[in-house]
Amino acid sequence: MLRFDARDLRNACGSFATGVTVITTRTDDGDHGMTANAFMSVSLDPPLISISLDHKSKMRERIRASGRYAVSILGDDMEHVAWHFAGRHNEALSTILEDRHDLPVVPGAAAVFLTEVEQEVDAGDHTLFIGRVTHLERRAEIGPLLFCGGKFARLAAAI
Ligand SMILES: Cc1cc2nc3c(=O)[nH]c(=O)nc-3n(C[C@H](O)[C@H](O)[C@H](O)COP(=O)(O)O)c2cc1C
């Protein structure tokens, strides 16, 4: 018998500090964005990254339909953008996304990856989408927005 519940698991995973991304895609239904911290680099050769999406998210079906997605790594002044794409709609941000090779992305992000879905792995109540990177951008001067223990943060200093 397990001696922990879903909340314990979520809290323990929350001890792992991550960056914050906005996943985006484009289908016949329009552009869609979703905040996610379950982002991982997978392989350098070939260039692969992965995201993990809740079965309940709209994004999961959108990516299945489009076969591609973009990942924008948010900068440390973009907490409002993270909330907007996590279900707390902010009218002022409703047209924020801009075009990159026919995919929407967050302008001014610390890094951007455009991908084509290489593999879809169903895992419990989430689905992993492994994407092959076709284009990337990086703005080294922008510090990352962080997420840890259910709170947003920024780097105080490099160790
Ligand atoms: C910091 C943060 C990280 C999140 N990470 C994920 C994630 O990795 N995967 C996921 O499925 N949902 C994640 N969410 C929740 C989704 O952003 C939220 O459920 C969103 O409203 C789903 O959008 P959609 O259903 O319109 O696609 C996260 C939310 C926050 C605030």
Give the tens place of pLDDT for each residue, 63-113.
999 999 999 999 999 999 999 999 999 999 999 999 999 999 999 999 999
Q: Is 22 in the pocket of ligand 1 (CB under 6 A)?
A: no
Beta-sheet pairing, 68-73 with 21-27: antiparallel
Q: Which pLDDT value is given to residue 145?
A: 98
Q: Retrieve residue 73's tokens.
A: 């790594």
Q: Where are the domains of the chain?
A: 6-153
Fold of the domain spanning 6-153: Pnp Oxidase; Chain A (2.30.110)
Quick one: pLDDT at residue 157?
Answer: 81
User: Mean pLDDT across the stretch 27-55?
Assistant: 98
Per-residue pLDDT at 135: 98
Q: How far is CA 151 from CA 16, 17, 49, 147, 156, in A?
A: 12, 10, 24, 6, 15
Residue nearest to atom 5 of ligand 1 (CA): 36
pLDDT of residue 87: 97
CA distance 159 to 155: 10
Residue whose CB lies within 8 A of the most ligand 1 atoms, among 29, 34, 85, for a mutation test = 34
Ligand 1 in reach of 38 Cβ (< 6 A): yes
Q: Which of 32, 39, 54 to mutate to test the pocket of ligand 1 (most atoms within 8 A of CB)?
A: 54
36 CA from centroid of ligand 1 (Å): 5
Q: Tokens standing for 14?
A: 């929350």
Structure confidence at residue 159 (pLDDT): 73
Residues above pLDDT 70, as percent of the chain:
99
Nearest of 17, 54, 53 to residue 151 by alpha carbon: 17
pTM here is 0.97
Q: Which atom of ligand 1 is least distant from the CA of 82?
A: 31
